Structures are given as C-alpha cells and as structure tokens.
Amino acid sequence: MAKFLTNREENYSQWYNDLVIKADMAENSAVRGCMVIKPYGYAIWEKIQAELDRRFKATGHVNAYFPLFIPKSFFSREASHVEGFAKECAVVTHYRLKHAPDGKGIIVDPDAKLEEELIVRPTSETIIWNTYKDWIHSYRDLPLLINQWANVVRWEMRTRLFLRTTEFLWQEGHTAHATREEAQQEALMILDLYADFAENYMALPVIKGVKTESEKFAGAIDTYTFEALMQDGKALQGGTSHFLGQNFAKAFDVQFANQEGKLDYVWATSWGVTTRLIGALIMAHADNNGLVLPPRLAPIQVVIIPIYKGNEQLGSISEIANDLRSKLEKAGFSVKYDDRDTQKPGFKFADYELKGVPVRLAIGPRDAENGTVEVARRDTLTKETINRDNVVTHVTALMEEIHQNIYRKAADFRAENTYSVDTWDEFRDIIENKGGFVMAHWDGSTETEEQIKNLTKATVRAIPFNAPAEEGKCVLSGKPSHRRVLFARAY
Amino acid sequence: MAKFLTNREENYSQWYNDLVIKADMAENSAVRGCMVIKPYGYAIWEKIQAELDRRFKATGHVNAYFPLFIPKSFFSREASHVEGFAKECAVVTHYRLKHAPDGKGIIVDPDAKLEEELIVRPTSETIIWNTYKDWIHSYRDLPLLINQWANVVRWEMRTRLFLRTTEFLWQEGHTAHATREEAQQEALMILDLYADFAENYMALPVIKGVKTESEKFAGAIDTYTFEALMQDGKALQGGTSHFLGQNFAKAFDVQFANQEGKLDYVWATSWGVTTRLIGALIMAHADNNGLVLPPRLAPIQVVIIPIYKGNEQLGSISEIANDLRSKLEKAGFSVKYDDRDTQKPGFKFADYELKGVPVRLAIGPRDAENGTVEVARRDTLTKETINRDNVVTHVTALMEEIHQNIYRKAADFRAENTYSVDTWDEFRDIIENKGGFVMAHWDGSTETEEQIKNLTKATVRAIPFNAPAEEGKCVLSGKPSHRRVLFARAY
C-alpha cells in the first residue's frame, strides 16, 4: 500500500484528495474553488476529449466557439433558467484597472464601469440561442448540430478537485431541430453515446434514465442522465442530455419556416460532460495503491523499468527495452521507458502504481539473458514472466482483459450494492448505514421527494429507462407507484 | 467575382469584414468585442491546433490547465508586467445575482462582493509562476515545459474579427529552465517552430527577429517575433516568443537548488499564437472571389459537385463521385460530395470558391460517359479535364502545387513590397502612399522610434535576425546605425 495515501476504508474523502494530489492529477490554485489541472490529469482529459470529439463528429456534429461572457439580461429571458443559474455566477462589472492614488498596487478604475454587467458563462444556452436567432430561418437551416469545448464558471461554496470546482472544463452541445421527435431522439442518442463511452472507455457501468422535475436542468422539458456508483456507495452523475422543447426558441424568438411555409418555433437539445469525469474515473476504480486507469484512457499504457547494476547491464537492458518500446508503439500503445538513474526500481514501481499505469514491464539481467520479461498488471497487482518474443501479443490481450476486469469489478460492486427496498425503515437504514443504489417505489410528487431528501440526504438519481412497470407503494407516503426509481446519496 | 463581396482594391478593410461574414468564418456577438467563431472558421482553428500541438509534444512539451481568474494583486508583482496588462482587463467583482426588488429582472447582489477582485486572464504568467513556486525546488524538476490551450480577455476599444477581439483563443507556453542559455534556446526554438508552421501550413513567408524595447512583452528581457506582410501592405505579427530571464521567478520567488546545491532563480520563457492567425490566413491569400485556403489547413480539401438533369443522371454520377470520394479519403484528403438538389451547380461553384476549397471536381453526364472529371484549382481559378483513373495522383500533386503557388505568390508580393530606404522623404512616402515593409537604419533609441511612429504610424516590427551588419545613418535622426530594421504600419 502506498504509505502516503490515507487508507480508503478509513477516510474515503481524504483518500480521494490525497490521491488526486499525489498522483499529480490536479491541485487547488490561489483562486478559491479553481483548480490547476496538472499535465498528468490533463493528459487524461485530452484522451477523453479526443474520443468524445470523434464520436460527436461521427454523428454529424461540428464544433464552434461562443463568447465567455453573457449579458446579464439574457438570463432573465427563460423563466426557469434564471432560477437555476442566476445565483452562482461570476460577475464582470468593470473593464479597467489603474494605479492606486497612494502608489500602492492597483485598483479597479471606477470610471470603467460596464453599463450592463457581464456574467461569466455558467452554461451557454442563452447566448447561443440569441445567436441561433440569426442563423435559423428555414427548415433548410435545420438541424443545426453544434458542440463547444469550453470553460465555464459556477460559483460553488464547497468545492472538491474535479468533482465540483468553480471553473471547470466541459463540452456543451446545442442542437436545433424542426420537430419535437427529432430533438428528443437527438437527446437520447447523445445519452447513449455518453453511456457507451463511459462503459467502453472509462470501464464504468452506468444507469440511464430521466431526472425528476426537481432534479432536471433549469429550462429543460426532460433531462436524461447517466449515473454511476462510486466505491463509497455514493452516486455520481456522469453527464446529462436535455430535451429543451421550444423553451429557448420562445425565449429568444427563434422561428423557422417549415416545409409548408408556416412559422414554428425551433426544438432544442443541450448536453454536456465535464472534467468531473476524471473524478468519477478515480472514485470508481482506484485503490489504496493509487489510481487504476482503464487502458483506453491511460496517458501511459505501458511502462518499462530496467533493473540493473552498473552501466554495462543498463546498456544491454536498454537495448532490449528500446526494442520492446518501439514494437509496442508500433502496435499503438503509449509506452514510457524509465531509465532514470536517480531513482531505484522499487520507487518507480510504487510511483507507476500510484499513477495507475495499466501494465508494467521489468527487465533484469537474468531476463536479458533468458529472453524473458516480467509483466505486472496494475488492476490485480499480479506478475508473471513471459517470453520476450510474445510481449506485443501478450500486452494487447492484457489491455483488453484489464479493461474487462475493471469494468466487471465495478459492475459487481454495483450489483452488490444495489438494493430493492420496500419499507421506509429499510430505506433509511441502507441509505444511512450502507450506502449504494436503492431501487424503491416513489409516489412521483416533488413533496415526497423533498421530504425523503430532508430526512436522508438521498435524492432520486434517475427514473431508469430499464425499470420494469411494477405496481407498488411509495416507500415514504404509501401512495401508489408504477415503477421503482433509483435513489442514492450523490456527489 | 463574388458580387456580394466589397472589392478588395476599393476597400480592403470592408472586403475583409465581408469575407469573414460571407464565408461563414465568424461574426460579432451580442457582447461588444467578442466574436462567435462559426463552425467553418473553428474547423480551421482545429487544424491549426492539431498541428501545433503535435509539434509542441514532439519537442517535449505537455499540456495543462490553469485558472481563468487571477487575483488582482498578482499583477503588481512584476513591475513592468503591471504596466502592460493591468489596463485593459475584465474585472470580476461579485459572485452572485438576485431578483430585483421591483420584480423586474435580476441585479448584482451587493452582499456578494469579492474581498479581492479577480481579473479574467489577459495572459497567465503571474498565476502560472505563482504555481511553479510549489513545483520547482531542484534542478531535477527542470526543465518544466508546459503549454496551455485557453481563452484570454483583453479589453480592446477597437475590435476586428479574428485580428483583435476582446476574448480570443490561443495557446500559451510557459517553460522553466536551470540556465539562461537553455531558456534562450527554448524561446528561439519555439520561434523557429512557429515560423516553420507559418511557412509550411499557412503558406505564409515570415520574417523572424527581435522586438525593440518599446514593442516587447511587458515583463520580458527579449521578445522574438515573426512578421508577415498582408495584401494591403500592412504588417501582421503572427506570434511571439519571450525570453523572460528571471523576472517572473524573482517576482514570485521561484528558486531551485542547482547541481552544486546552491539556490538560484529559475529562467523562463513564454510564447503564444492566437486565433489571429486565421485573420492572417485570410488577409494574406484571399481574393475578390473569396478565401484561398492553403491545402494543409483547409477543412474541406476537395469538393465534388455533380452536374445533372434528373435522378437517373444523378444516380450514375453519384456512384462515380462516391467512389472518387472514398479513394481520395483513403489517400488522406478531406472530401465533401455536395449532391444537394436545392442549389444549382453555379451557386455551389461560387460558394466553394468563397470558402476557399483548394480543389473542386465536377462530374457531368459527358464525364460519366468518357471516364473523365473536371478539376478546378481555387488558387488560379483554372480548370482542366483529366482521366478519372488519375484523380488521386493528380489531386495529390495538385495540393502540393497549390501550397507552393500560394506561398510563392505571397513571397513575391512581399519581395515587390519590401523597400530598402535611406532618406526620410522616401521613408515617409512609401509608408504613407505605398505601404509594405521598409528596411531602414534606425539609431536604436526609443525616442526616435516614438517620433517615427507619431509622424507616420509606422513601427519597428522587428530587428530581423538575418539583417546583415551594415553601417548607416538613422533615417530620421541621422545618428549612426549598424543594421537596418524592419518598419511597417501594422495590424
């Protein structure tokens, strides 16, 4: 166990913070609530971006860029949007600094006050729909399938590296459609895209569903979500896709002439995932030795470490290592050969375990002689010695196996920690003492939902798509219910 | 000539604005000075990013992300930096909005005033060096070679799409080194990287050199620049690379223990290019028919347009077109087959000319019969008919030829508009009546430079690296000078 990490079982929260720092992923900055994403953490974000961007483009989307600032008045246009977003914003009020009259430092120039304050975007529906007004006139201009990679700011009181930060990075898709059906399909298609990415790249099993009225996006008709279970029994919302109906089109007066020449309001979706996914990745898979990265998102997939005494041994081992590296790179893996002589092999082993590198190859003098190499897996911490000629085949198979194993482990954990609950006592007991996903009947009212939240801090994470119709009674109110919904405490 | 474009020779500035709008590159947003980068413009930025990012990584750099906000006090730390950047900043003073007491809209909550104002980053030296303080302790931590892709804000009074906007996108490299020599080499290596990119990807010949004291970056020891000549005879600074000496290390107290165990301040560089490069691309190559994009940055490299009457003809032409497309895509080109039946071929021809697509293939019924295809080049507007079997070979060669031709045209234009000038009358006449690059002697004093600027609006763009030593007299003051420098009016 990495000694400098807090034990996960003793203090999960501290373990997470330790890990993010020690694995060189991110750190808090001098600006309250804003993080610095360090190169190793950012490399994971780049891999997430590359794959999502490829998928967005493959489904017909293009990227664009809209302003960081939004005029304050835009927020008031959509009635429920203002409720959800106007509260926690960074507000730009001035556009100039000047020297302090006393010569000490600089001050805000009171003469440079903006007529209308600008809000640093917490999300871009308003500025984008104000722009779409000029872009959309006819059904020929539709669909409009645009995505943006950007930073956004939501003034958070309690922040946590990756999971909740004042500034975060994300992508936000904003699409416009001629019909309700097409917009709904788009929102659901994107949810599937996200969920597929989560399962196949993050090795993270997710539950897809729809949010309740009180949990949905401010301005949406429906919010679709994918939810994952973390190792401490709390849920994490991976991302959301919103069917916005005609709400923003009406707020910004975006009408189009349909095929019959009649004017109608445009139908909309928006959807996003954020740097929070990196937090999910850590919380779902990491252990007391450090990160466990799924191979498809690992910045370094294979690390090669020489074990040697003296320059002569290092020379012959390096020759073998460089040959292996080039073969593995040719097979598409990202490989690091760490021949630093300032650190001992044991230190390096622990360091790459901490950083979650999926496969480690070690080559000692006996391996050099025998034509072998020691292969260690990060996920199981097991080792075996194989013939050097088989390395590429072996590593290729191993990567797939590691992905499957990490996924299965998370799926098993979720299965073990998902409860079908019928009584309030049991509900409360599980939420408070065990954690996990609780499938329970709920009467569908916001009042009951609110009450349950106040009593247990558990919320309806989703009404799962795959929950079968089933008659039952609300776990709190006893009123009739037609399907179970997913409750949990959440990040 | 595209009739909706202003004639370039009549009103260059209006021609540029028209072109940016009509070619769907960008537009002004509802926020003064901030632009919306539309999908076609953003696709060019993505190509610029991809190639630069590849080059940064190939030279050992990694990406990271630092906060959007910088505490106001950070700016005062480096004496000359505050002079250069404190003036034109967006200032965040509050973090909450609330409903107006009169129920009309929302207002800034006066209770949510920040203790210390936050500046939206105009550049990130201060916040990054404040962070590096914790990352650098020993020579073993060096060099630190970090780049960031980000948005920045400088409150500009007069803005222009791509060329000067309040918010813009850029990359900013920030490196830390153990020695002066290494930092200087880094700054120069990056300048070479930029210049090579400009010449080989943007087809833009550039002049490399060093800025004068008054034109250098606020906080730098030396600013290296690459300058290009636009078609209206004005210079455009493509990007800069700064040798920062130990200025920021001293301002933020970043010291390291060198190999002898002695403490020393870290040596620094910073360097960046912005979305302005897209403006340069347009201004350098476009003509009265629209954009002329260099093939390596064109989002669509080949467009295929069918010329047909009726569905039967379209069917057989589409079969050929799709076959050509897949062959060209396999050869690495990005291809669009435009079979929309809502637009006539003539309209499509003009539209793709406007958008600067390097190569257009047209297939009519006779081509279908004869096994031929009509190939048109955007740069020369010439056409020829070739055998369909040769399309891939032909297009491959053509792309290289187009790149070379665009580059040569720009280089010839620059040669014709570069003047070696020895008298003040001639200097003034050329700057005021002809435009272009003027190589002239200058006495090296800031006073003279300022005077020349006041008299002619021309500035020293660079002291070119390749300017030979040559004794002469300053074109204004008559004082001795040892080499000519590059003067021009500039964007």
Q: What is the pLDDT of residues A276-297, one digit of tens each?
A: 999 999 999 999 999 999 999 9
Q: Is the pLDDT of residue A87 over 90?
A: no
pTM of the predicted model as reported, rounded to 2 decimal places: 0.97
Instruction: Examine domains B295-413 and B417-488 and report if their fold is the same.
Output: no
Architecture of domain B12-285: 2-Layer Sandwich (3.30)
Q: Is the pLDDT of residue B2 over 80?
A: no
Angle at CA of residue B139, ends B137 and B142, nearest 5°: 90
**What per-residue confidence (pLDDT) applies to A183?**
98
What is the spatial distance between Cα A345 and Cα A340, in angstroms, rounded to a whole number?
10
Given an 8 Å threshold on Cβ–Cβ distance, is A65 in contact with B37? yes
Buried b vs exposed e over A397-427: b needs ≥16 C-beta within 10 Å?
Answer: ebbeebbebbbebbeebbeebebebeebeeb
Chain B CB within 8 Å of residue A79 CB: no
User: Tell me: the pLDDT tens digits for A311-325?
Assistant: 999 999 999 999 999
Given an 8 Å threshold on Cβ–Cβ distance, is A31 in contact with B70? yes
The stretch A241-246 carries a mean pLDDT of 98
A20: CB partners within 8 A, 6+ apart: A26, A27, A41, A161, A162, A282
Q: Give the pLDDT band (50/70/90) at residue B45.
A: very high
Residues B295-413: name the CATH superfamily: Anticodon-binding domain (3.40.50.800)
**What per-residue confidence (pLDDT) applies to A3?**
64
Respond yes or no on whether the N-terminal peptide bond of residue B365 is cis (omega within 30° of 0).
no
The stretch B71-96 carries a mean pLDDT of 87
Q: Is the pLDDT of residue A73 over 70?
A: yes
What is the spatial distance between Cα B257 and Cα A164, in angstroms, rounded to a whole number?
36
Question: Residue A95: its chain B contacts at CB < 8 A?
Answer: 88-91, 155
| Chain B 3-22, residues with CB within 8 Å of chain A CB atoms | none
Q: Which residue has the higher pLDDT, B153 or A79?
A: B153
Angle at CA of residue A53, ends A52 and A55, nearest 5°: 65
What is the spatial distance between Cα B301 and Cα B123, in angstroms, rounded to a whole number?
34
Given an 8 Å threshold on Cβ–Cβ distance, is A90 in contact with B87? no
What is the spatial distance between Cα B107 and Cα B98, in angstroms, rounded to a whole number?
5
Question: Residue B95: its chain A contacts at CB < 8 A?
Answer: 88-91, 155
What is the spatial distance between Cα A167 and Cα A150, in angstroms, rounded to a whole number?
10
Angle at CA of residue A476, ends A473 and A478, nearest 5°: 35
Domain parsing of chain B, residue ranges = 12-285, 295-413, 417-488
Q: Give the pLDDT band (50/70/90) at residue A104.
A: confident
AA letter at B206: V
Size of the A and B interface in Cβ pairs below 8 Å = 186
Given an 8 Å threshold on Cβ–Cβ distance, is A167 in contact with B67? yes
Question: Residue B54: its chain A contacts at CB < 8 A?
Answer: none
**What per-residue confidence (pLDDT) applies to B3?**
64
Please give the residue of chain A at the shortest CA–CA distance from B144. Answer: A39
Q: Is the pLDDT of residue B248 over 90?
A: yes
Given an 8 Å threshold on Cβ–Cβ distance, is B34 in contact with A68? yes
| Chain B 124-153, residues with CB within 8 Å of chain A CB atoms | 127, 130-131, 134, 140, 146, 150-151, 153
Please, where are the H alpha helices in B89-141? Answer: 125-135
What is the spatial distance between Cα B403 and Cα B392, in angstroms, rounded to a whole number?
17
Question: Residue B39: its chain A contacts at CB < 8 A?
Answer: 62-64, 146
The four Cα atoms A285, A291, A295, A299 give a dihedral, to 10 degrees, of 140
What is the spatial distance between Cα A194 and Cα B239, in angstroms, rounded to a whole number?
38
Please give the residue of chain B at the shortest CA–CA distance from A61. Answer: B39
**What per-residue confidence (pLDDT) applies to A297?**
98
User: Are the C-beta atoms of residues B490 and B229 closer than 8 Å to each other?
Assistant: no
**What per-residue confidence (pLDDT) applies to B103?**
79
The 3-state DSSP class for residue B58 equals helix
CATH for the stretch A12-68+128-285: 3.30.930.10
The 3-state DSSP class for residue A122 equals coil
Mean pLDDT of chain B: 96
Q: Is the pLDDT of residue B151 over 60?
A: yes
**What per-residue confidence (pLDDT) applies to B101?**
87
Q: Give the pLDDT band (50/70/90) at residue B104.
A: confident
CA–CA min distance A438, chain B (Å): 35
B387: CB partners within 8 A, 6+ apart: B371, B372
Given an 8 Å threshold on Cβ–Cβ distance, is A151 in contact with B151? yes
Please give the residue of chain B at the shortest CA–CA distance from A299. Answer: B62
User: Tell me: the pLDDT tens digits for A364-403?
Assistant: 999 999 999 999 999 999 999 999 999 999 999 999 999 9
Residue of B22, B36, B341 to mutate when probing chain A, most A C-beta within 10 A: B36
Please state the ipTM of this predicted complex: 0.97
B359: CB partners within 8 A, 6+ apart: B295, B301, B302, B303, B375, B376, B377, B378, B395, B398, B399, B402
B37, B86, B94: residue with CB nearest A64 = B37
Q: Is the pLDDT of residue A1 over 70?
A: no
Phi, psi of A306 (to 5 degrees): -85, 140
What is the spatial distance between Cα A114 and Cα A93, in angstroms, rounded to a whole number?
6
The stretch A161-177 carries a mean pLDDT of 98
How many CB atoms are located within 10 Å of the residue A455 CB? 14
What is the spatial distance between Cα A100 and Cα A115, in angstroms, rounded to a whole number?
23
What percent of chain A is modeled with pLDDT above 70? 99
Mean pLDDT of chain A: 96
Region of B34 (left: φ > 0; alpha: ψ -120 to 50; beta: rest) is: beta
User: Tell me: the pLDDT tens digits for A409-420?
Assistant: 999 999 999 999
**Eight-state DSSP code of residue A160:** B
Q: Which CATH class is domain A417-488?
A: alpha beta
Retrieve residue A189's tokens.
Answer: 């298609």
